[in-house]
Amino acid sequence: MAILSQTEAQDILKKVIGYSTADECEATLSGTLEGNVRSARNSISTSGATDNVSLAVTSYFGKKQGTATCNQFDDATLKRCVQRAEEIARLAPDSPEHMPLLGPQQYLSSPQSFAQSTAAITPDYRARQMGASMDYCTSKKLTSAGFLNDRAGFVAKRNSKGLEAYQRLTNADFSVTVRTPDGTGSGYAATDYTDVKNFDAARLTAVAAGKASSSVGAKAIEPGKYTVILEPNALVSNSDASLLGALMRSFDARSADEGRSFLSKKGGGNRKGEKLFDERITVYSDPTNAEVPDLTFAGDGRPQQRTTWIEKGVVKNMYTSRYWAQKSGIPDLPPPGGFIMEGGTQSTADLIKGTQKGILVTRLWYIRPVDPQTLLYTGLTRDGTFYIENGAIKFPIKNFRFNESPVIMLNNVEAIGRPVRLAGNLVPPLKIRDFTFTSLSDAV
Amino acid sequence: MKRRDFAALAGLGAGALWLPSFPALAGDLVDPAQLLEPGLDVAQKKRLADVALNAAKAAGATYADIRIQRTLNQGIFTREKQVQNIASAETQGIGIRVIAGGTWGFAATNNLTDASVAKTAQQAVAIAKANSKVQKEPVQLAPQKGYGEVSWKTPIQQNAFEVPIKEKVDLLLNANGVALAGGASFVNSALFQINEQKYFASTDGSYIDQDIHRIYPTFGVTVVDRASGKFRSRQAMSSPMGLGYEYLTPKAADKVMGPAGSDVIGYKQSYDILEDAALAAKQTKQKITCKSVTPGKYDLVLDPHHLGLTIHESVGHPLELDRVLGYEANYAGTSFATLAWKAKNIPYGSQQVNIVADKLQTGSLGAVGYDDEGVKTKEWDLIKAGKLVNYEKIRDQAHIVGQQYSDGCCYSQSWQDVQFQRMPNVSLRPGTTNKSVDELVAGVDKGIYIAGNGSFSIDQQRYNFQFGGQVFYAIEKGKITEPLEDVAYQANTLEFWGSCADRCDERDYRLFGAFNDGKGQPSQSSAVSHGSATTRFNAVNVINTARKIG
């Protein structure tokens, strides 16, 4: 049931819009077929599968709106759902931020967002991949804990003003933590794919295993300001907050205009057009990028286009709600799905070779905001932290707590590596000077 | 940035798109009146349970349990003078967990016909059998006797869903009005209400019907000083509770004053949102201009609404036996408090530290009659006079520590997620001799009083942590002298609890709540309370969090 074709989905949505007696009506049908398997201690721990299709109907009377949802699609249920949305709307207070629905839109095409290989994953496939990961660790006398989650789905939209959208998507995430049996070494690796044809859990597990073995016997060095090489897992995450994720989520124009963002300008207004980062920093989003294909429309039906957020260190655009865009007369840009940070050609290994003294950080974790005024965040290194001297890794070091702002970090750029896909983004490893570690952690 | 979740695009109206980020609001959006309609009756649920259990056994399961769950949610969201959204949601279905081939399998469906339930049970068994091919540690369940047909209800006085929405909206808008009148630039407020109607049955012979309620009013006040470009916020001092709407009818007996000179007010089993909103505006304005802390060692006096989160992170999580054993290594992490560490008898804290786990406390988020694998709930000691004595466990872990029974810590956020080990209420026992918060402060020469929970971060084995707060006050020579800003403290769990020097008595005891505690892959949310009285910790490292950006 989960993945309806464009025709099947729009046929249901046409019926829904036809049942509407409201001033305006919008309906969204989405479905996900999802499965997962989880392991720990080199053994399967839990697994599951869900199959769900859901319809959401939003009805508008003047400035009043109401939404109802259902997950059965016979005519009687569809009618009831529309009636419920209308009843809820009639009871709702007027919204002073109401915007009329969008009319027909032109969307980019991003056919690569769906891969049959991912949609066809079975419980046996998951068990086989996880089994290979666990077998690798067993053979190396290491202990693994992993998670594989795959999803295939679609989103279709239609409204009473003629807007029509449909797209299919697939995604698979795999992550694995490998530890030495005595708990003195730990490594991590993660990946995500739209198309799993090249996915090899054992190959990725070998990376985590290498980090685990080589992080045994970590030495303590003093906290302070260090040159660091932050691998992509230290910059973005699909399971935790992250420094670059936090930065890109802060590009909201309204918060900036209201004076409660690092992008607010002293005295009023925002800092669009100002150079706030190193001139080598350029960040954009593009739902048609072949490596990170994404939805070409936002939840409210606005088109997702290629959009530059930071260009050569200058704040180029901020995202906004439709209401705030109209009120402020600024470009009407929805928040992006993933983002792409431009980089160079160097691998992490190349960055290490070019480093006199520094620290290689595999991963940052438990990242939480400390001060939204400066976008200061705290968190810790984890799963492989190493001291670099004269272009080579010298020894593993104990983990640190950091207190750092991505704004300061992106002003202290020494080098930018080759971007790789992670958590739906393209992110390069970054070499940063004066990264602030404030205390040591005994955690492995 | 996390990849956009398909669920986030499930088409909730434009104004509601951010709602799915709050897991408790998952489900179909419905007319609020539907939240008062009865669900399936117990006889229907028992019959469906037997369909599932019989199908699982016929397919080869050696054990099976089912949860037929109907979850009702309502969230009301406002900012300044306007309602942003009112969402009422309902979700109902059955989750079936089985053991086959010594391996767990789980499947769920919202289609509650006999055929669909039986098919789902067979699917759970098929998944278990697929995984058993690569299974290396067969599941061992602690024995659990069946209870027959039993029931339990949260002892609420007023079902929040029965209160007219207008009354709830008016209360939030009044709170916003009070904050704006007090000088707030912006204010957001929200009221979350949850009712879990949960029916558990297992092949052990239990049929358990439970009706569980939770409520959480909250707000955030922001003051922007355009001239300096500075902005500061203060969150509500409310706690999410296992109570009905009576939590929002303030009673004088539930109000606890902070130390003289602090203008902090704490709340027990009822909350005065209007009083707190007025205080929040005053304190947030103060935060714009007050002194920035000088970093260094300070004696900290921590109010229960702050300390609850520190207990949660540095005691509650490290004593989850699944983390200790490595089952959460790939996500939440492991724990320093391993079985080998416990055997060394190293002190967890000072003699003052007595920490208890329970799923019984009235008004707490963790209170239920039975957990999600049919185990009757209880209270037990985790730390006695500073020594670790026990962990938090479920049925398939008990044998690992030589225990013949579960502690009743199993929970799932909904019918469609598999249950696993979650934190019970974990609380610091108050002092046994009379001591007021003023008497506690009087003993501090150079310190900081912290109220409310703020920024929090802790490593994956729960050694190194950093916490902020909502409001901070300098203590000099036994008296509160002035408010402070830019305060966070960093400590090591064992050093911190080792520095626990004194605490107030039970008159000051109150519950903090974590409404949305995340754990597991796929991640699930649970709600848990942490009680304590105001407590003193000596010589803790305080940092200054102020920075400058271009």
Residue A120 sits in a domain of what CATH number? 3.30.2290.10
CB A69 within 8 A of CB A41: no
Q: What pLDDT score was predicted for residue B26?
A: 63
DSSP 8-state class, residue B3: P
Q: B1 to chain A, minimum CA–CA distance in Å?
A: 4
Nearest CB among A143, A258, A373 relative to B186 is that of A258
Cross-chain residue pair A424–B2, CB shorter than 8 Å: yes
Return the residue of A nearest to B18 by Cα.
A299
- Is A176 part of a structural domain of the chain? yes
Surface of B (141-180) touching A: CB under 8 A: 165, 169
- Is A260 part of a structural domain of the chain? no
A77 and A180 assigned to the same domain: yes
Three-class DSSP labels, A301-360? CCECCCEEEEECCEECCCECCHHHHHHHCCCCCCCCCCCEECCCCCCHHHHHHCCCEEEE
Residue among B333, B491, B548, B297 nearest A436 (CA): B548
Tokens encoding A212: 């685990």
Cross-chain residue pair B416–A50, CB shorter than 8 Å: yes
Cross-chain residue pair A378–B455, CB shorter than 8 Å: yes
Nearest CB among B27, B106, B464 relative to A401 is that of B464
Cross-chain residue pair B106–A48, CB shorter than 8 Å: yes
Cross-chain residue pair B547–A294, CB shorter than 8 Å: no
Dist. CA A209–CA A214, nearest whole Å: 9
Answer yes or no: is pLDDT of B24 > 90.
no
Domain end position, chosen among A193, A211, A229? A211
A118 and A179 assigned to the same domain: yes
- Is A79 part of a structural domain of the chain? yes
Cross-chain residue pair A67–B12, CB shorter than 8 Å: yes
Nearest CB among A48, A70, A366 relative to B458 is that of A366
Q: What pLDDT score was predicted for residue B408?
A: 98
Q: A1 to chain B, minimum CA–CA distance in Å?
A: 13
Where in the sequence is the domain holding A435, given as residue range(s)? 217-243+343-440
Cross-chain residue pair A267–B226, CB shorter than 8 Å: yes
Cross-chain residue pair B130–A127, CB shorter than 8 Å: yes
User: Which uninterrupted H or E stretch holds B21?
Assistant: none
Cross-chain residue pair A443–B459, CB shorter than 8 Å: yes
Q: B278 to chain A, minimum CA–CA distance in Å?
A: 21
Surface of B (292-331) touching A: CB under 8 A: 325-331
Return the residue of A nearest to B164 by Cα.
A91
Dist. CA B344–CA B337, nearest whole Å: 10
A206 and A102 assigned to the same domain: yes
Cross-chain residue pair B11–A443, CB shorter than 8 Å: no
- Is A145 part of a structural domain of the chain? yes
Dist. CA B318–CA B332, nearest whole Å: 10
Specify the number of domains making up chain A: 2
Nearest CB among A38, A248, A368 relative to B1 is that of A248
Nearest CB among A55, A300, A444 relative to B461 is that of A444
- Is B344 part of a structural domain of the chain? no
Dist. CA B95–CA B523, nearest whole Å: 16
A347 and A384 assigned to the same domain: yes
A124 and A236 assigned to the same domain: no
Tokens encoding B518: 């995340």
A162 and A239 assigned to the same domain: no
- Is A296 part of a structural domain of the chain? no
What residues of chain A score a pLDDT lower than 50? none
Mean pLDDT value of segment B516-539 = 95
Kindly state the percentage of chain B with pLDDT values over 70.
95
Dist. CA B542–CA B300, nearest whole Å: 9
Q: What pLDDT score was predicted for residue A49?
A: 80
Cross-chain residue pair A87–B31, CB shorter than 8 Å: yes
Q: Which residues of A touch B34 (CB under 8 A)?
A: 84
Tokens encoding B190: 């929200």
B458 contacts chain A (CB < 8 A): yes
* SS3 of residue B491 by DSSP: strand
Q: Which residues of B touch A238 (CB under 8 A)?
A: 2-3
- Is B201 part of a structural domain of the chain? yes
User: Which uninterrupted H or E stretch holds A46?
Assistant: strand A43-61
* SS3 of residue B58 by DSSP: helix
- Is A195 part of a structural domain of the chain? yes
Residue among B304, B326, B300 nearest B496 (CA): B300
A224 and A76 assigned to the same domain: no
Strands (E), B21-60: 28-29
Specify the number of domains making up chain B: 1
- Is B338 part of a structural domain of the chain? no
Answer yes or no: is pLDDT of B550 > 90.
no
- Is B56 part of a structural domain of the chain? yes
Q: Which residues of A touch B168 (CB under 8 A)?
A: none
- Is B357 part of a structural domain of the chain? no
Q: What pLDDT score was predicted for residue B6?
A: 31
Q: What pLDDT score was predicted for residue B15?
A: 29
A180 and A221 assigned to the same domain: no
Nearest CB among B455, B460, B463 relative to A370 is that of B455
Q: What pLDDT score was predicted for residue B422?
A: 98
- Is B54 part of a structural domain of the chain? yes
Long-range contacts of A326-332 (CB under 8 A, 24+ apart): A326/A99, A328/A253, A328/A257, A330/A253, A332/A302
Q: A68 to chain B, minimum CA–CA distance in Å?
A: 5
B41 contacts chain A (CB < 8 A): no
Tokens encoding A364: 């940052």
Q: Which residues of B touch A143 (CB under 8 A)?
A: 326, 329
Dist. CA B447–CA B452, nearest whole Å: 17
Domain end position, chosen among A211, A228, A253? A211
Q: What pLDDT score was predicted for residue B19?
A: 30
Q: B350 to chain A, minimum CA–CA distance in Å?
A: 20
A224 and A203 assigned to the same domain: no
Tokens encoding B342: 């416990």
Dist. CA B173–CA B219, nearest whole Å: 11
- Is B16 part of a structural domain of the chain? yes
A196 and A222 assigned to the same domain: no
From residue A162, alpha-carbon distances to A27, A303, B16 in Å are 11, 15, 22
- Is A273 part of a structural domain of the chain? no
Q: A226 to chain B, minimum CA–CA distance in Å?
A: 17
* SS3 of residue A229 by DSSP: strand
Nearest CB among B1, B27, B169 relative to A249 is that of B1
Cross-chain residue pair B330–A176, CB shorter than 8 Å: yes
Domain end position, chosen among A190, A211, A232? A211
Nearest CB among A28, A188, A401 relative to B490 is that of A401
Q: Which residues of A touch B494 (CB under 8 A)?
A: none
Give alpha helix (H) positions in B317-370. 321-325, 339-343
Q: What contacts A121, CB < 8 A, 6 or more positions away?
A: A35, A150, A172, A196
A173 and A233 assigned to the same domain: no
Nearest CB among A45, A405, A438 relative to B327 is that of A45
Dist. CA B365–CA B299, nearest whole Å: 31
pTM: 0.95
Answer yes or no: is pLDDT of B7 > 80.
no
pLDDT range class, residue B134, cuts 50, 70, 90: confident
Q: What pLDDT score was predicted for residue A91?
A: 87
Give me the total of CB pairs closer than 8 Å, taking one residue from chain A and one from chain B: 327
Mean pLDDT value of segment B92-105 = 94
- Is B144 part of a structural domain of the chain? yes
Q: B432 to chain A, minimum CA–CA distance in Å?
A: 34
Q: What pLDDT score was predicted for residue A1?
A: 58
Return the residue of B nearest to A26 by Cα.
B13
Cross-chain residue pair B1–A338, CB shorter than 8 Å: yes
Q: Which residues of B touch A254 (CB under 8 A)?
A: none
- Is A422 part of a structural domain of the chain? yes
A75 and A221 assigned to the same domain: no
Answer yes or no: is pLDDT of B14 > 60.
no
CATH of the domain at B121: 3.30.2290
Nearest CB among B34, B86, B108 relative to A92 is that of B86
Surface of B (174-213) touching A: CB under 8 A: 185-186
Where in the sequence is the domain holding B117, given as residue range(s)? 6-155+197-214
Q: Which residues of B touch A411 (CB under 8 A)?
A: 550
Q: A426 to chain B, minimum CA–CA distance in Å?
A: 10
Q: What contacts B508, CB < 8 A, 6 or more positions away?
A: B256, B266, B304, B430, B436, B437, B533, B534
Q: Which residues of A touch B4 (CB under 8 A)?
A: 294-295, 337-338, 424
Q: What average pLDDT does the structure give for chain B?
A: 93
CB A386 within 8 A of CB A395: yes
Q: Give how far the C-alpha of residue B93 lies from the chain's centroid of Cα atoms, to the nearest Å.
A: 24
Q: A183 to chain B, minimum CA–CA distance in Å?
A: 10
ipTM of the complex: 0.94
Nearest CB among A69, A149, A441 relative to B28 is that of A69
Nearest CB among A127, A322, A443 relative to B133 is that of A127
Return the residue of A nearest to B462 by Cα.
A443
Out of A63-77, B21-35, B164-178, B255-269, pick the least confident. Answer: B21-35
